[in-house]
Amino acid sequence: MWKIRRGVLTLILESSRSSYPDEFGAFLRAKHRIIYEIVLLPGTVSGSSSVVYNLMMKPIDFTIVGSVHSHPSGVPLPSQADLDMFSRTGDIHLIVAYPFNFDSWKAYNRFGEEIDVKVID
């Protein structure tokens, strides 16, 4: 089972709230299936309807396990573009939705299937 540190989830939610109405996006860093940090990539562009990751800037770093991005629409379901990115960028992906609180996010595997992630201190 995947886990995420409460402070990391709080940072993601606050960053998403700060970026609103644009999307926020980053990569996730984990060790032993515990997400402990986000990684911002240079050249990532956030807009009103998408986050464009500059994958050329993604370091060769096996601690980067997936991605996170926000949906200002309030719907934390992956689009087709999200599913395409999930399949290429790791094993776990988070979507946080407006109003960006602890009840408005979901996690998915690389196939777009919803998975459980436990929040830990």
Catalytic residue set: 23
Dump the DSSP string for 27-87: EEEEETTEEEEEEPPTT-EE-SS-EE--GGG----TTEEEEEEEETTS-----HHHHHHHT
CB 82 within 8 A of CB 63: no
Edge-to-edge strand list for the sheet holding 92-97: 114-115, 105-108, 92-97, 64-71, 25-31, 34-39, 2-5, 117-120
